[in-house]
Structure 1
Amino acid sequence: MHALSTEYNILYNGSIALEQGKEALNASYFDNYWDVLPVERMQLSEEIIIPGQSKNENFTRAEEKAIKAIQKHSMNIEGKEKNPQMDEAYMLLGKSRYFDERFIPALEAFNYILYKYAASDKINQAKVWREKTNMRLDNNELAIKNLKRLLRQEDIEGQELADATSTLAQAYINTKVIDTAITHLETASQVTTSHDERGRYRFIQGQLYNKLGLKDSANSVFDKVIELNRKTPRIYMIAAHLEKVKNFDPEHDDRYEVAAFLRELEENRENRPFLDKIYHHTAEFYRNIESDSLAIAYYNKSLRTNSQDSYLKAKNYETLGDMYFDGSVYADAGEYYDSTMSVLPLNSKPYRVIKRKRDNLNDVIFYEGVARVNDSVLNLVHMPDDQRSKYFNNYVDELKRKAEEEKERTEAAERNNGLVTVNNQIGRSAQGGSDQATLFYFYNPTTVSYGKNEFVKIWGNRPLEDNWRLSSKGVSGLNPGNTDIDIVAPVSDDEKFNPDFYISKIPTEEKEIDSISKDRNYAYYQLGLIYKEKFKEYELAKSKFLNLLESNPEERLILPSKYNLYKIYELLGEHDEAEIAKNNIINTYPDSRYTTILKNPELVSGRDENSPQSLYEALYVQHENQEYAEVISKSEDYINRFDGDAIVPKFELLKATAKGRLYGYETYKKAINYLAVTYANTPEGKQAKNIESNILPKLAGTEFVESVDSLSVGHKVVFKFNEQKQDEILGFKTTLDTVLKHVKYYKLKSSLDVYDPKTSFVIVHGINSKQVAENFEQLIVKKDKNKIKPPYFVVSSTNYQIIQIHKNLDAYLNLYNN
């Protein structure tokens, strides 16, 4: 009675719950065909489950049934189990815990079977499941040892042998012993009674052969998967076909045959769920045979399938980005890299790699935009009147044609919308339902699409952000130059379809045209440097520098452009052009730094003390020594001397910092703003933008903090010197240091700070009490009192910072009557 009740009631219901749980796991599991598939279709979750909770209620129910069977129907009489279903109950208990990812309790259940039911017919299954659990706990070596002993000592066959060898194969895959794993998978695929398992094991075999570089063996195994056809899930057959396509050898295989086969896969209606993968591998095939246009078309087809495989989408976007990058179409490459990052996990390693690629494109995209827009404007400026009129007449005709088409589409959409609404109302009325949903604007895709188009026509492609209607926001990426053309403001239809309206927007003032030309020339120069230094695209760099020299550039850009052209000619092996460029520089600019380098090439390999980097480092040392006036003067000289060089923003930032230290907050604020605007796309410009946005607001306050006598508030004793010679100040500091060594109970030290061009401070540090600071002279021993004669004032560390930032010492002294 106990055995029958256990088997046909409790364990039966528990087994049903276990199977339902496994089906739910399989339905939610997504195989990653970009890597070797696991033998068992089970995805481990990273979600943390607290005790008493379960990832799947079906497994909880199965476990409860197993426990109920053990508690109510176990018949352990004189140390011997009389109910033959108890081993089945413990197997159900272990499996339910295993699939619920509670591996330690599952291991206990399987071990109990091995300990208590050695004569059970399920003993071999228990051993296999125990080793599967050990592998989940990363005990792969132990699993291999136990499974090898099982296969050696027991004469097992059929599905038990398939389970044991496939589990052993997974353990070898985990430990990177691929050839042995292939052998055991071969055994498992021959003896298993499940065609699903056979197809999976064969496919994994092919993947492992590919990892070993044995493409012929891999293709042979994939053919066996394909022969199973409808006996296994169709995805295995499709994946096997695509793996064979990946193994295509363009030197020996027939590319036309492969292309025809891919078209056949694409056109087969049964393959529609797998078109994302088929299109991707078709694109890979065409890229492999250097048919880039077809490759791009198929990558985009794969993206348009709305695939659920995020890795596939990321791979498509990244590959398209790389192709456009290799073709030097950097703006499009940047957009594809942006899309790649949108489907990758944030801050993952692939995400960081793509982000680094994308960040490197920021400058080139910006300057290409400036050059393109300004070139277009200048072309219109220099275009003869008759050609200009013809150009805009054609443009207006095209606008009218598009407007007519849009009007027809809108009218058709409104008619269809009315028809759909009426039909829906009739249908809903017949069913007694509400018609409110059909009337809601956002429930109708036609009206939504129309609204989006109208928004873009009026406002342009504006980013989703606060205050998006402000004219200062502009339309992203459309006006990188410094033109005054308002391309954002909405226009009436009369203006929109009037050629004279557009002609009136073309700049006519010489000053404005010169500004556009200068911006364009500077963009050419920066693009030449970027292509040469960052991307090693020497032909592109050469074309940019040549375009610049043909555009009547400012004098400051001519010499560095010629020198960079000389270096590019050398790198391209165009020695005759390099010699001409070298002689031109030497003859035209005999006193320049570049001529010195060309005449003395050893300066390039050695340490050139007159190089921009060396001069910057020397100036930085002076800044550290508080020689701020000298730093400001020399920075201005170097900025003019190296105008156009990449190091100029560094000098600007150093000069801004020195000005802030010497003249205070307002001067520093102006200098930082100038740097952020003028050199916006350099690292120094971005740093200045960050200072302007995040740091300057925190330094803006000028209110002094009331000093309190607290041991936690630092105070300083400050000796003020006006227009004294540096030697005198240093002499006093040396004397003060000697006196401070004799002070008991306090570890005091002094420093020299510059306040403004005429005032310096010698400061005593190490006092944490206002009262002690005010009675500083009482700390000095009697023999040293005559050595410290200059007057001093006391200030808290917070107020001293405010004094140095805002240069408001007089206000502080008047406020506190020091």
Structure 2
Amino acid sequence: MKTDYKIILLFFCTIMLVQSCSTKKDKYINRQFHALGTKYNVLYNGNIALERGKDGVNNEFTENFWELLPVERMKVDDEDIFLPGQTKNADFERAEEKAIKAIQVHGMSFNGKEKNPQIDEAYLLLGKARYFDKRFVPAMAAFNNILNKYPTSDKINQVKIWREKTSMRLDNDAGAIEKLTRLLREEEIEGQDLADASAALAQAYINIKSKDSAIAQLTIAAENTKIKREKARYHFIKGQLYNEFGKKDSANLEFDAIIDMHRQIPRSFYINAHIEKSNNYDVLNGDQVEFEEYLTDLEENRENRPFLDKIYYRIAEYHRKHTSDSLAEVYYNKSLRKTTSDKYLKALSYETLGNMYFDKNIYKTAGAYYDSTMTAMVVNTKPYRIIKKKRENLDDVIYYEGIAQTNDSILKMVSLPKSEQLAIYTTYAEELEKKALEVQQQREEALKKQGNNTAPATRLGQSRKSASPARSIGALTGNSRSLQPNGASNSNFYFYNTTTVAYGKNEFLKLWGDRKLQDNWRLNNQRADAAQEITGEGGELAGETVKDKRFDPETYLASLPTEQVEIDSIAKERNYAYYQLGIIYKEKFKEFQLAKSKLETLLVNNPEDRLILPSKYNLYRIYVELGLNHEAETMKTAIIKGYPDSRYAEILLNPQSELSKDKNSPEFIYTNLYQQFENEEYAAVIAEAEAQIKRFEGDDFVPKFEILKASAKGRLYGFEAYKEGINYIALTYADTEEGKRAKEIIKEAFPVLQKKEFVADEDAQKFNVIFQFENNSGEDIDAFIKTLDEEVAKIKYFDLTTSKDLYDENTTFVVVHGLKSIGGAKGFGELLKSGEKDKRGRVVKPKITRPYFAISSSNYAIIQRHKNLNAYLELQ
């Protein structure tokens, strides 16, 4: 009987279960069944996936405490764009799938009304999953669906907050502010919902730059949130905003609130609150000893080890502001050694060190630090471009400082008596040898220590007379048959120790050198190194060694220049380096004292005439900048009296005139000269450019005249003359834009321009007909061109043009362009010579009877470039 009851009960439950599974019946049991299934199965798993995805986003996000923190720990990049159906995070995708399943499988809609009370939460989950997956438009659709279909939902306030957060992500901050403000005014929101709404409103205010309004909302958010991490974030942002407003006391209160939370919050907020608070330290009125102890406590706290990079940087900044550069440099370097993922901090440390060396005028070291700075920066950002420009300006300084220091050293040594030279180089060589011996001893001691204090059983020196080099080294490496398969051995034999083996090899090489495997190896001097031992007769060592040339003072004496021409060349190069350094320090870095020193030194070193006047003028300008009125007046008088016809004298006598627009200014002269170049007056351009180069010697416009002169020479005399001019510019004006452009031409254009081989006519596409004139023949070329133009105009089936091109000093070409084949070019020339028939049918004498030759456009460019017309005509 009990069995019958069990069967009946089981049958009844089965019927009830089947009946409740249906979503088509609006019954109590159906509604409860689907509500429970939705809440505790589908949505439960979906929310777990959502939280897991949020944790992943939080772990990926790196807080940038150098900038104002975002209210919400999620960053949206420009590349976060998805096609329909795409997703970025598998956890958010799973949460979205669960939400969709809940809606589709467990939805119970009757007469437009949803009977499953969990469906609104399914839509909320759907919207959140899409929001955190950075697909904001679909997320907005999910939130709007709840507002439209479920206005009485108990989650309606949360939905409104999430919708406005999504609206902000879509750059509708004004609309979000309006709706969130209305929500907070009209609804009684409290607890976490109030915190979320206030935080979202604060971010909207920050986005529209109303940061004072954001502070009030962040205060409400911090008071109402139950999540400690969020509370710390809101306090930190308030502290950052107060610092922006210059309210350091209020900012410190916010940072103290974070510090009081201590281990309840992420350590990064705790440490950065200390750092920010320390940045607000009052240098003038604060207790310096107490503050140093405070920084020391931060440094020595073991829990702060992951953040030592920032702590060291803060200590370095403190010492630098207190003019203790040596301590500051130590801590900047300690920060760099600890820095891991914070590239901004690394760039700051490198840049600050670079600036410190720059201020000390140690430009080579500063340049190295700026190079390191750029490796830690985002390429093509404004800070990157600033550092890059500063680094490029240093290239010239480093280059010319190197030349100046090296040549100064050489000239100083050359000026000394030979006895003093020998004494200096002897001291230098002895110090060098001493250092080399110390390094060698340190290496040997290190090898001995690494060998676990195991000394070789047999010294190589004890077996010189009986061992070959192969056997000696082999004895150190051991018998390979005794070794274990993986290089291990149970024996304690010394040569199983790789360190001891290395030590032995080093000892052999030190005693015998690098010797070949051959008979009587000991009797032949086969050493490859410089300090080799010489063997005597019978194979015994003679006891003498050939000293390393580095340790021989005669080596350095022999390297000194002796010819006066060579010494003058070194002095000339040194003087030009001083001039360039003076100009660079004055113009690019505004280091007037350094510029003054370089130019004054230049003038007492017997410089070339071309450097004297510009150096004096630049010194005059420097004296004015430094307020050295007496020196400035003396230099002004010297320029006016010594160079009365120079442009500098004109400027000094009439400083109020706008000489840049005057007809005597280099700009005006260059413009006119360039126009002459365009008119193919190349000989006149060359002569005038040379005159102006002498006149404006030292002026920034001189390289422009040089490159114009080189171009004119190239047009008139050919590629070799152009090549010579460009090479001169690249060497003489290396630091100018023209000099750098010349280097590019040498590298990129010269390989193409120097080709002289003529192109086969069948490989060309355009052809010309050339009429040749002698410049001194007295022929009217312009009249010929006029006649030629009339004849060319009669040819309707070709788009022909004519030009007058200078070939060289003696020859001018009149060219017809636009022909399509070599045959067509020759035929066109014959057509011009054949003449025309008049109305009566009589042949009229042709107007063009001059000899001509046909040539392809590519070959015409070659003969113009290399002036090799005769070579081309010989091939025809």
- TM bin, normalised by shorter chain, reads 0.7 to 0.9
Structure 1 length-normalised TM = 0.85
Find out whether 1:733 has 2:793 as its counterpart.
no
Find out whether 1:118 has 2:151 as its counterpart.
yes
Distance 1:92 1:805, change over 3 A: same
Q: Which whole-Å deviations, capped at 9, do the CAs of 1:562-611 have from their partners, x for residues lacking one? A: 23222322332222222222333344445555445544546674645444
Q: Alpha-carbon deviation of 1:160?
A: 0.8
Distance 1:606 1:655, change over 3 A: closer
Distance 1:415 1:21, change over 3 A: farther
Is the Cα–Cα contact under 8 Å of residues 616 and 651 in structure 1 kept in the other structure? yes
Is the Cα–Cα contact under 8 Å of residues 586 and 592 in structure 2 kept in the other structure? yes
Is the Cα–Cα contact under 8 Å of residues 709 and 771 in structure 1 kept in the other structure? no
Give the aligned partner of residue 564 of structure 1.
618
Identity of matched residues, %: 56
Is the Cα–Cα contact under 8 Å of residues 143 and 159 in structure 2 kept in the other structure? yes
Q: Residue type matched to 2:170 in 1?
A: L
Q: Distance in 1 between matches of 2:64 and 2:487?
A: 44
Is the Cα–Cα contact under 8 Å of residues 495 and 501 in structure 1 kept in the other structure? yes
Q: Which whole-Å deviations, capped at 9, do the CAs of 1:609-642 have from their partners, x for residues lacking one? A: 4444444333322222111122223333444454
Q: Which whole-Å deviations, capped at 9, do the CAs of 1:795-818 have from their partners, x for residues lacking one? A: 332222222122232333343x4x
Is the Cα–Cα contact under 8 Å of residues 709 and 770 in structure 1 kept in the other structure? no
Find out whether 1:65 has 2:119 as its counterpart.
no
Distance 1:78 1:50, change over 3 A: closer
Q: Residue type matched to 1:543 in 2?
A: S
Q: How does 1:578-657 map to 2 (within 5 A)?
A: 578-589=632-643, 592-601=646-655, 605=659, 607-657=661-711
Distance 1:782 1:526, change over 3 A: farther
Give the aligned partner of residue 473 of structure 1.
none
Q: Alpha-carbon deviation of 1:375?
A: 1.4
Q: Alpha-carbon deviation of 1:174?
A: 0.9
Q: Residue type matched to 2:562 in 1?
A: T
Give 3-state SS (helix, strand or coil) of 1:536's partner: coil
Find out whether 1:795 has 2:855 as its counterpart.
yes
Larger CA Rg, structure 1 vs 2:
2
Is the Cα–Cα contact under 8 Å of residues 622 and 628 in structure 1 kept in the other structure? yes
Q: Residue type matched to 1:347 in 2?
A: N
Is the Cα–Cα contact under 8 Å of residues 742 and 781 in structure 1 kept in the other structure? no
- The match for 1:391 among 424, 434, 442 is 424
Find out whether 1:56 has 2:84 as its counterpart.
no
Give the aligned partner of residue 809 of structure 2.
757
Q: Distance in 1 between matches of 2:485 and 2:101?
A: 49
Give the aligned partner of residue 85 of structure 1.
118
Give the aligned partner of residue 210 of structure 2.
177
Q: How does 1:716-727 map to 2 (within 5 A)?
A: 716-724=768-776
Q: Distance in 2 between matches of 1:434 and 1:77?
A: 78
Q: How does 1:59-458 map to 2 (within 5 A)?
A: 59-415=92-448
Distance 1:506 1:50, change over 3 A: farther
Q: Greater shift after overlay, 770-779 or 791-800?
A: 770-779
Q: Distance in 2 between matches of 1:632 and 1:607?
A: 23
Give the aligned partner of residue 760 of structure 2.
706
Find out whether 1:7 has 2:39 as its counterpart.
yes
Q: Greater shift after overlay, 131-140 or 383-392?
A: 383-392
Give the aligned partner of residue 480 of structure 1.
none
Q: Residue type matched to 1:763 in 2?
A: V
Is the Cα–Cα contact under 8 Å of residues 646 and 695 in structure 2 kept in the other structure? no
Q: Distance in 1 between matches of 2:264 and 2:447?
A: 51
Give the aligned partner of residue 42 of structure 1.
74
Give the aligned partner of residue 559 of structure 2.
505
Give 3-state SS (helix, strand or coil) of 2:814's partner: strand
Q: Alpha-carbon deviation of 1:728?
A: 1.8
Q: Residue type matched to 1:279 in 2?
A: Y
Q: Alpha-carbon deviation of 1:37?
A: 0.3
Q: Residue type matched to 1:71 in 2?
A: Q
Is the Cα–Cα contact under 8 Å of residues 597 and 604 in structure 1 kept in the other structure? no
Q: Residue type matched to 1:299 in 2?
A: Y
Where structure 2 has 5 or more consecutive residues not aligned to the other structure, the ranges are 1-32, 455-483, 489-497, 507-544, 839-843
Find out whether 1:28 has 2:60 as its counterpart.
yes
Q: Distance in 1 between matches of 2:452 and 2:122?
A: 63
Q: Distance in 1 between matches of 2:813 and 2:806?
A: 6
Q: Alpha-carbon deviation of 1:524?
A: 0.7
Total equivalences in the alignment: 754
- The match for 1:670 among 724, 730, 746 is 724
Give 3-state SS (helix, strand or coil) of 2:780's partner: helix
Give the aligned partner of residue 806 of structure 1.
866
Q: Alpha-carbon deviation of 1:254?
A: 4.2
Give 3-state SS (helix, strand or coil) of 1:756's partner: coil
Q: Which whole-Å deviations, capped at 9, do the CAs of 1:176-232 have from their partners, x for residues lacking one? A: 111111111100000101111111001101111222333332222222222222222
Distance 1:103 1:601, change over 3 A: closer
Find out whether 1:552 has 2:612 as its counterpart.
no
Q: Alpha-carbon deviation of 1:316?
A: 2.0
Q: Greater shift after overlay, 38-47 or 806-815?
A: 806-815
Is the Cα–Cα contact under 8 Å of residues 773 and 812 in structure 2 kept in the other structure? yes
Distance 1:592 1:775, change over 3 A: same
Q: Distance in 1 between matches of 2:41 and 2:445?
A: 64
Q: Residue type matched to 2:630 in 1?
A: D
Q: Distance in 2 between matches of 1:591 and 1:60?
A: 83
Distance 1:414 1:66, change over 3 A: farther
Is the Cα–Cα contact under 8 Å of residues 256 and 273 in structure 2 kept in the other structure? yes
Q: Distance in 2 between matches of 1:709 and 1:26?
A: 65
Find out whether 1:539 has 2:593 as its counterpart.
yes
Where structure 1 has 5 or more consecutive residues not aligned to the other structure, the ranges are 422-431, 437-442, 452-490
Q: Distance in 2 between matches of 1:613 and 1:492?
A: 65
Distance 1:77 1:593, change over 3 A: closer
Distance 1:726 1:545, change over 3 A: farther
TM-align CA RMSD: 3.2
Q: Which whole-Å deviations, capped at 9, do the CAs of 1:725-778 have from their partners, x for residues lacking one? A: 687223323443455455545554422111111111122334456565444365
Is the Cα–Cα contact under 8 Å of residues 750 and 763 in structure 1 kept in the other structure? yes
Q: Which whole-Å deviations, capped at 9, do the CAs of 1:461-510 have from their partners, x for residues lacking one? A: xxxxxxxxxxxxxxxxxxxxxxxxxxxxxx99622223332333233332
Q: Distance in 2 between matches of 1:733 and 1:534?
A: 53
Give 3-state SS (helix, strand or coil) of 2:761's partner: coil
Q: Alpha-carbon deviation of 1:544?
A: 0.7
Q: Alpha-carbon deviation of 1:11?
A: 2.5
Distance 1:607 1:163, change over 3 A: closer
Q: Greater shift after overlay, 792-801 or 132-141?
A: 792-801
Q: Alpha-carbon deviation of 1:130?
A: 1.6
Is the Cα–Cα contact under 8 Å of residues 660 and 666 in structure 2 kept in the other structure? no
Give the aligned partner of residue 474 of structure 1.
none
Q: Greater shift after overlay, 353-362 or 278-287?
A: 278-287
Is the Cα–Cα contact under 8 Å of residues 199 and 236 in structure 1 kept in the other structure? yes
Q: Residue type matched to 1:8 in 2?
A: Y
Q: Distance in 1 between matches of 2:139 and 2:850?
A: 83
Distance 1:812 1:48, change over 3 A: farther
Distance 1:32 1:634, change over 3 A: same
Q: Distance in 2 between matches of 1:163 and 1:434?
A: 64
